[in-house]
Structure 1
Amino acid sequence: MSVDVHPLDAARGTSATPGAGDSTERALRRRARLVVAGLTVLALAATAVYLTVDVRAGWEFTLPFRGRRVAAMVVVGVAIATSTVVFQTLTTNRILTPSILGFDSLYQLLQTSLVFVLGSYALASVGVVEQFGVAVALMVAASLALFLGLFGGGRRSLHLVLLVGVVLGTLLRSATALMQRMMDPSEFQVLQSRLFASFTGVDERLLAASAVVVLVCCTLLWTMRRRLDVVALGRETAVALGVNHRRTSLLVLVVVAVLVSVSTALVGPITFFGLLVANLAYVLLGSHRHALTLPVAALLAVVTLVGGQALLEHLLGMETVLSVVIEFLGGIVFIALLVAGGRR
């Protein structure tokens, strides 16, 4: 009997014995179809509820207003989920997210510097497009300098990139804290609203540009899904199977940097969100294939953001911010993964 067990699932220990390869493959595909179908229904239901429940200002105003928020949540959710899944593939670690490279810290330093230097009143006169462009350009440029300097050279050490990212993140947070302590209290209050992720008031021009960038990046990663499956087996195995590990890793890191930079500049940082949806995707699927985990993680992100925002607005009366709840849940998942890993 032929054996049809995906090598990534076999290496991860998620497949059955070789003799049951065909039945395992069929069961995995059936499970994946059910998961995708269920999440698609949930995403559509959450979107419908969010758009149509408790309409008071008229459909002409409410649908475009809420629709813009939904579009922002979809763009950001897909970007964060996709970037986290492929980043964990490169690092072969399920508790790491791209934020370890210091994206969130750099964004917070940039926002703090703008308020500290210009002041909130002068900053209000700067266009949102210009602020978005500066934030994206700075984060992407810093990422490229880090990747090309530490991974593109002769050392080619991904672990060194992660270590330097952690150190730089700590340095940037310290500089941010110093400026915040020196800041006028009224200016600091204005700054606080810019440091938490918010899907309200997203500019349509920025949303359209971000959607195009995210679509291009996700399409590129989708074309690389089989190569990423091989990369997930480890550097030595990937090289032995004919994959240029260095080039693939560098390309994926650049795409991850663009995705995270765009999503962070659009709505703000959400540190643990990618960790949450990526690990839920692994659990639901029982597989690490990128042809499955990428769409499922993206659907989970949409369900979480749109459904969570609907609950906060329609049931809880906006008593808190969605990003705060996500950070709380993601932190719990992070601790649970650390504890589970320590018991192995």
Structure 2
Amino acid sequence: MTTTSGTERIGRVTRVGRPAAELRRQRRVMGVLAAVTLAGAVAFCVVGLTGNIEYALGIRLRRVAAMVVVGVAVGYSSVLFQTVTNNRILTPQIMGFDSLFVLVQTLIVYFAGAIALSSADPHVLFAVQAGVMVAFAFALHRWLFDRNSRDLYLLVLVGVIFGTLFSSLSSLAARLINPNDFVTLQDSLFASFNSIDESLLWFSSVLLVVLCALGTRLFRKLDVVALGRDTAVGLGVNHRSVVNRALVLIAILVSVSTALVGPVAFLGVLVANLARQLTRSFRHAVVVPAASLLAVATLTLGQLVLEQVLGTDTALSVVVNFGGGLYFIALLVRESTR
């Protein structure tokens, strides 16, 4: 006699009871998002292309590939993080990853000077930055969440405290460095897609594919986890195991994407919530791809507008953080009025 797990039962009931009209609408939304993302990537590659076409196109293709890697990593990790924390205004960046990235950059300049930062081997720099962030995430997770069944919100709260500590240390070190070095440091603290090492891009892409494949196997269980811990346990889902595995994936995704191009703080909260609003779905098999497509479209179209329409070399992360920050405030206001 075969038994059916709670996750499988929920999945069957969802598939049977879901109206066909809703499925068609979700497919249309995903089709539109895919078309907009593809159009944005193609437009970024060909609009304003002059000079040595082959050389310039190669550079733009590499930048688009970096945007795809970062966009998918941010969208994927943000949706998973909001699910395991059961909160729609939190993103993995609140755990202090961005602040730790800034601190590492600042300490390098403080102890070795701006020349050491600008001339450092990109592979070594990437390994140091990603390694420090992953080690921090694993140490925090093991200390607070891997033992004694402590509350997940305690993990988030301690992450916020460490993020504030890292920001304070960065500000202190920045005040003590040479003003000329400070200018170089500031340029390195904004997400940039202009100078991506090709070998690092390939490594990040392969790692992203592996992590996304592993995460996809958790989607059905995460659908149940989103209903709440007690409900998930009652339906036969090992809540602790699923959350642990999701947090590991989130930590690696965020660390790799941040080390590759730099921090994009509010992109995650923007695309994760827009994906849910557009798809009107709780299923991670729908929301995660939608959030990833939205993130890639935002990066490619945003960079295209900045470079070709406005003619400025302003870092895209500045604009994304501004827009995402306004959206974040709107979410806070909406949640407070409920």
Q: TM-score range by the shorter chain?
A: over 0.9
Q: Which residue of 2 aligns with 1:314?
A: 308
**Matched residue type, 1:296:** A
What is the TM-score of this pair, normalised by structure 2? 0.94
Contact 2:77 2:92 (C-alpha < 8 Å) held by counterparts: yes
1:303 aligns with 2:297: yes
Identify the match of residue 172 of structure 1 among 163, 166, 169: 166
Secondary structure, counterpart of 1:333 in structure 2: helix
**Matched residue type, 1:254:** V
Q: Percent same amino acid among aligned pairs? A: 50
**Matched residue type, 2:259:** A
Q: Structure 1 residue runs of 4+, over 3 Å off?
A: none
**Matched residue type, 1:82:** Y
Q: How does 1:176-255 map to 2 (within 5 A)?
A: 176-255=170-249
Contact 1:87 1:253 (C-alpha < 8 Å) held by counterparts: yes
1:142 aligns with 2:169: no
**Aligned-residue offset at 1:123:** 3.0
**Partners of 1:144 and 1:319 in 2: CA distance:** 36
Contact 1:277 1:297 (C-alpha < 8 Å) held by counterparts: yes
Identify the match of residue 57 of structure 1 among 44, 51, 54: 51
**Aligned-residue offset at 1:50:** 0.9
**Partners of 1:273 and 1:330 in 2: CA distance:** 6
Q: Which residue of 2 aligns with 1:47?
A: 41
Q: Which residue of 2 aligns with 1:120?
A: 114
**Partners of 1:228 and 1:122 in 2: CA distance:** 44
Q: Which residue of 1 aligns with 2:4?
A: none
Contact 2:105 2:117 (C-alpha < 8 Å) held by counterparts: no
**Aligned-residue offset at 1:7:** 5.8
1:333 aligns with 2:330: no
Contact 2:99 2:167 (C-alpha < 8 Å) held by counterparts: yes
Contact 2:271 2:294 (C-alpha < 8 Å) held by counterparts: yes
**Aligned-residue offset at 1:200:** 0.6
Contact 1:272 1:326 (C-alpha < 8 Å) held by counterparts: yes
**Aligned-residue offset at 1:27:** 2.0
**Aligned-residue offset at 1:261:** 0.1
Secondary structure, counterpart of 1:200 in structure 2: coil
1:280 aligns with 2:279: no
Contact 1:28 1:285 (C-alpha < 8 Å) held by counterparts: no
Contact 2:101 2:259 (C-alpha < 8 Å) held by counterparts: yes
**Partners of 2:312 and 2:246 in 1: CA distance:** 37
**Partners of 1:333 and 1:184 in 2: CA distance:** 36
**Matched residue type, 2:24:** R
**Partners of 1:114 and 1:235 in 2: CA distance:** 42
**Partners of 2:337 and 2:116 in 1: CA distance:** 53
**Partners of 1:244 and 1:227 in 2: CA distance:** 9
**Partners of 2:125 and 2:195 in 1: CA distance:** 14
**Aligned-residue offset at 1:318:** 1.9
**Partners of 2:210 and 2:313 in 1: CA distance:** 36
Secondary structure, counterpart of 2:19 in structure 1: helix
**Matched residue type, 1:326:** V
- Which 10-residue stretch deviates more, 224-233 or 148-157? 148-157
**Partners of 1:127 and 1:155 in 2: CA distance:** 41
**Partners of 2:154 and 2:41 in 1: CA distance:** 42
**Partners of 1:112 and 1:161 in 2: CA distance:** 26
**Matched residue type, 1:160:** L
**Partners of 1:160 and 1:185 in 2: CA distance:** 39
Secondary structure, counterpart of 1:77 in structure 2: helix
1:323 aligns with 2:317: yes
Q: Runs of 5+ in structure 2 lacking a partner?
A: 1-8
RMSD of aligned C-alpha atoms?
A: 1.6
**Matched residue type, 1:189:** V
Secondary structure, counterpart of 1:67 in structure 2: helix
**Partners of 2:313 and 2:97 in 1: CA distance:** 28
Q: Which residue of 2 aligns with 1:18?
A: none
**Partners of 2:123 and 2:238 in 1: CA distance:** 38
1:70 aligns with 2:64: yes
Contact 2:189 2:262 (C-alpha < 8 Å) held by counterparts: yes
